[in-house]
Structure formats: structure tokens, C-alpha cells
Amino acid sequence: MNILSVTSEIYPLVKTGGLADVAGALPLALEALGIRTRSLVPGYPAVMKKLENPRERYVFEDLLGERATLVEAHHKGLDLLVLDCPGLYDRPGGPYLDPTGYDFQDNWKRFAALSFAGSEIAAGILDDFKPDLVHAHDWQAALTPVYMRYGRAHAVPSVVTVHNIAFQGQFGNDIFGQLRLPPHAFAMDGVEYYGDVGYLKGGLQSATAITTVSPSYAGEILQPSFGMGLEGVIAAREEQLSGIVNGIDVETWNPETDPMIAAPYGAATLKARALNREALCRHFQLDQDDGPIFTIISRLTWQKGMDLIPEVVDDLVRHGGKLAVLGSGDSALEGALLSASTRHRGRIGMTIGYNEPLSHLLQAGADAILVPSRFEPCGLTQLYALRYGCVPVVARTGGLADTVIDANHAALQGKCATGVQFSPISADGLRQAIHRTIRLYADKKLWTQIQKQGMKADVSWIRSAARYAELYSSLISRTA
Ligand code: ADP
């Protein structure tokens, strides 16, 4: 089985969030099941400079008005097709934002071009790779099934995965004429969305199947409170919708071999975790006492419930807790957390920015991680935390609800608790959860048991990759 994955980010080449982790790990997990995936990604500078022995495979003379070269390369087990299009991707900034933090004005074109190239590959422009199915991730790739449907590759089945329905790729209708779609694609069952052009909306209408990244989130996005305007579109295609929880790359995230942490450890050698705890305290200038260390590794946004944190920190410290925060995002939230860290020197530490090695040390050294998201399609940080014996304290929503077993009385008795869940998702709900966590932490035997149960949880891709493989097979055999 040959799969073309179309994605705007892929770990370890370029990452802004969980999408990159999934796009980078799923192909490797599928390979073990005999499925070959090639990943089409934009040729951002960060990608181009990491390619070894790139091979030119195809030239688009006029890709929505741009000249582009499709380059084949291999990187850390991934088979890549990189869309080298300097006019669209060779510029300073991140994958989506310019250096001042604003969306690139031509994002509509940057990702339409990616999708168009994906549909051309599906149509067979490469003589040695004819995909049996195309898997498009998020709005940036969601026009791929649209171009396929209205173009040459309409017989090839496709899957759109929604990693976060909050990001929909909506643009003014003035761009429609430049997308080179037929006029009838600008309709309710196509890309038209309240008079504008909706990339994700078009993808949801056009893909053979829709997946999202946890069963709970699949149920939630059918509701107006989570669907963000697309609930009707999704409900109309409910039969084609499924939720498959993300796994993590258990090689990269393995506390027994992780080179980014201060000392390796495993479930049988949990005591060695203390060395990571000490390193963490040194980095964040936290007191080296026995109070529980909470961590946060997150985009600092409302979605992630980060505005609740300034409301609970004083109480957390009063109850003997400490907090180490790694994140960036909303500047008001950055400011509020920084001011908490100066108010509570030795108890709260803060590093602003994106720092992959430090995120590993935090998982290895902190006692518990706070994930108070208002909605969370799957969430990865709690999965890393489980694997690292860092007890997740999570809001009861989406993938958080599906992957953490709350330490309630029954789960403690049954020895299956792996963390703490809370609801309602409010400052008070979070405060209560922190109190409960601190109480659990005080009972060392119980705490170690919860840590070990979390470390035993299967967070690998094995089960989820098998579910994707099943889905792919059923779609391919249905359209054969
Ligand atoms: P989302 O994709 O919505 O941001 P996820 O929990 O699915 O949330 O994935 C976030 C990913 O980004 C995780 O791999 C997490 O460790 C990482 N991450 C988030 N913020 C930072 C940061 N400031 N530094 C390093 N890694 C971060």
C-alpha cells in the first residue's frame, strides 16, 4: 500500500505543534505494517537546509503561477517529497507567520500550491510512486482532496485529519478565481463557506473519510460548542467520521535512553529521576525541597486554559507546590506568568520560548504536568508525561479524557489510575485538581504507583497505526 501524506509540518524537520509529531511518527509506525508513506512538505528554509542528497523529481512550471520543483529526499527514516518553491517558501519567519508574528498574506496560495502538488502526485506524475490513498492533515493540506475531486485524481480515496478544528483556513472569496478550481467548486458542498473560501470546509466535503485525533473529540466537534461553525458539515458526514488517538514516538521519548535529560531512568529505576528534578530546579532556580513540582509545556493561549494559571498560582504556592513553565504565545499571559515568577522567587520559574531539549528535562524532572485545555483534540504533552512518570493533571475534554485515567477511588483500588482529571474547566476546577494532586503526592507509595501505572500505559503508535491501516484498506478496497 502506498500512501501520500500531505502536511505543512513534520518532525524532526519543522514543528510548531502536535501536527508535526503525528506527521513524523505515523509513517514510521505504518512502515512496520508494510505500508509505505511518502510525505509531501513545503520547502521552507528550515527543511531545505537539512536535506541530504536531494533529487529533483518533477518541475511544475506553473504551480498557481509559481515555478516549483518537487524534490525527493530521505531524512531519519522518512521518505520526503519536498515542494521547493522559493517564491512561496524561501523567506524568513516560521511556517505560517512572518518574523513579526503575523500570518503571511499569501498563506492561501502557499498552502493551495502544496495541496495542488499533492493532487498532481495522486494523479500519477511520478512514475515510481502512484499513491493508493492520500492523507491530508489540517486546513493547510485540506484542498488536496478538493483538487483531487474536481481534477484528475478523483478516483483515488482520501482522508482528511482534523488536528484542531479551531484552525480552518478561511479566506476572502476574491482568491477563488486564483485557485484554478472549476466555478461549481464554489458551492455549499465545495469550498464556499459563508460567502468566503474555507479550506478545511472544502476538505471535509471532499475527502472520502474524515478522522480526528481522539474518539471524544470526534463526538465533540459534532456539537456547536466545539465545532466552531463546522459542526453542521461534520454532522452531515458523520458516517465517514472516526476518532483515532495519537501515539507518540517512543524512541525519541524514552526516559531510559533520552540524551536530552540529565539522567536516564525507567519504571524500575524511578529513584534516578531525582537527578532530573535537581537539574530542573537549577535551570528554573527553584528551591530544592520536597514540595511537588508542577510543570507546564504549552502554547500560552486561551485554548490551552493558560489564562487560568495566573489565577491559581498563589494558591498552588501556598499549598507547598512549585511550578516550572516553558511556553510562549499570548504576550499578556507571558507577562502575567513572568510577574508570578518574580513574586514567588524559588517557587515559580518561567522560560519563555520554544525549547525541545528543555521540554524533555521538564517531563523527566517535574512531578506533575498541568494541562487545563478548554478543548484538546488529542494532546501530546500528557502522553509524553505518562511515559516519563510525570503525572498528568488534565481537563476532562477531548483526547485528555481519553488518555488519562483519573485517580478516583475505584481507579486507585483497581490500580489503574494514571493521573488526575478535572471538570468544570475553570480556575476553581483546576485549583481543586491541584489540591487533590498535592494530597496524592504526599502519599509516596501511592504516588509511585500512579507514576508506574502511567509509565506502563501504551502510548506508542502500534494500536493507532493499525487503526489507520484498517481505515486505509477499507477505503482502498471500497473504491477499487
Ligand atoms: P498543540 O499541538 O495544540 O500545541 P499538543 O499537546 O498536541 O498541542 O502538542 C504540543 C507539542 O509541542 C508537544 O510536543 C509539546 O511538547 C510541544 N511544545 C509546546 N510548547 C513547547 C515549548 N515552549 N517548548 C518545547 N516544546 C513545546
pLDDT in tens, 276-298: 999 999 999 999 999 999 999 99
DSSP 103: B
- Same fold for the pair 2-247+462-479 and 267-456: yes
Instruction: Pick the atom of ligand 1 nearest to 327's CA.
Output: 23
Residue 240 has pLDDT above 90, yes or no: yes
- Give, for ligand 1, the residue of 297, 360, 376, 464 to mutate: max count of ligand atoms closer than 8 Å to Cβ: 297
Residue nearest to atom 15 of ligand 1 (CA): 381
- Who contacts 248 (Cβ-Cβ below 8 Å, separation ≥6)? 21, 25, 380, 383, 384, 387, 459, 460, 461
Q: Residue 221 Cα, ligand 1 centroid: separation in angstroms?
A: 22
Atom of ligand 1 lying closest to residue 246 CA: 7
CA distance 255 to 265: 6
Distance 297 CA to ligand 1 centre (A): 6
pLDDT of residue 278: 98
Residue closest by Cα to atom 17 of ligand 1: 17
Mutate-to-test residue for ligand 1 from 162, 337, 381, highest number of ligand atoms within 8 A of CB: 381
Query: Do you know the residue count of the chain?
Result: 480
- Atom 12 (ligand 1) nearest CA: 17
- Backbone phi, psi, residue 75, to 5°: -150, 120
**For residues 199-212, average pLDDT:** 98
The torsion angle over the Cα atoms of residues 379, 380, 386 and 392, rounded to 10 degrees, is -40
What's residue 330's pLDDT? Answer: 94
Instruction: Note the pLDDT tens digit of each residue in 346-357.
Output: 999 999 999 999
> 267-456 in CATH: which number?
3.40.50.2000
Atom of ligand 1 nearest to the CA of 351: 23
* Residue 14 reports pLDDT greater than 90: yes
Q: How far is the CA of 17 from the centre of ligand 1 (A)?
A: 5
State in Å: Cα 296 to ligand 1 middle: 10
How confident is the model over 88-103, as pLDDT tens digits? Answer: 999 999 999 999 999 9
Cα 355 to averaged position of ligand 1 atoms, centre (Å) = 10
3-class SS string, 168-217: CCEECHHHHHHCCCCHHHCCCCCCEECCEEEHHHHHHHHCCEEEECCHHH
The alpha carbon of 274 and the centre of ligand 1 are apart by a number of angstroms equal to 24
> Residue for cell digits 483556513?
169
Q: Tell me, in angstroms, the distance from the centre of ligand 1 to residue 18's CA.
A: 6
Q: Place 403 in a pLDDT band, splitting at 50, 70 and 90.
A: very high
Rounded mean pLDDT of 111-133? Answer: 98
- Whether the pLDDT of residue 149 is over 90: the answer is yes
What is the number of the ligand 1 atom nearest to the C-alpha of 16?
Answer: 12
Q: Residue 18 pLDDT > 90, yes or no?
A: no
pLDDT above 80 (res 156): yes
Q: How far away, in angstroms, is 328 Cα from ligand 1 center?
A: 10
Pocket residue to mutate for ligand 1, from 283, 296, 299, most atoms within 8 A of Cβ: 299
Half-sphere exposure of 164 (CA within 13 A, CB side): 17
pLDDT at 480 over 90: no
Q: Is the pLDDT of residue 479 over 90?
A: no
- If you compute the radius of gyration of the chain from its CA atoms, what whole number of angstroms results? 23
Written out in words, the top-level CATH class of the domain with range 2-247+462-479 is alpha beta
Q: Which residue has the cell 456547536?
A: 224
pLDDT at residue 394, as a whole number: 98
Which residues have C-beta atoms less than 6 Å from ligand 1? 17-18, 21, 164, 297-299, 326-328, 354-356, 359, 378-381
**166-189 mean pLDDT:** 97
pLDDT exceeds 90 at position 220? yes
Q: In the predicted model, is pLDDT for residue 64 greater than 90?
A: yes
Ligand 1 centroid vs 40 CA: distance in angstroms?
22
pTM here is 0.92
Q: Take atom 19 of ligand 1 and give the residue whose Cα is closest.
A: 298
Whether 116 shows a pLDDT value over 90: the answer reads yes
- Region 68-86: what's the mean pLDDT? 97
* 42 confidence band (pLDDT: 50, 70, 90): very high
pLDDT of residue 289: 93
Percent of the chain at pLDDT > 90 equals 98
In ligand 1, the atom with minimum distance to the C-alpha of 382 is 6
Residue 294's pLDDT is what? Answer: 98
Residue 361: pLDDT band with limits 50, 70, 90: very high
Mean per-residue pLDDT of the chain: 97
Ligand 1 geometric centre to CA of 338 (Å): 19
pLDDT band at 17 (very low <50, low <70, confident <90, very high): confident
Q: How many angstroms does the Cα of residue 374 sit away from the middle of ligand 1?
A: 16
- Among protein residues, the one with the nearest Cα to ligand 1's atom 16 is 381
At 325 the pLDDT is 98
Give tens-digit pLDDT for 301-348: 999 999 999 999 999 999 999 999 999 999 999 999 999 999 999 999
Can you give the residue ranges of every domain in the chain? Answer: 2-247+462-479, 267-456
Q: Does 124 have pLDDT greater than 90?
A: yes
Q: Please give the backbone phi and psi of residue 31, each rounded to the nearest 5 degrees, phi first.
A: -60, -40
Residue 12: asked if its preceding bond is cis (omega within 30°), the reply is: yes
Average of per-residue pLDDT across 184-188: 97
Residue with cell 517558501: 89
Residue 79 has pLDDT above 80, yes or no: yes
Q: Quick one: which atom of ligand 1 is closest to the CA of 376?
A: 3
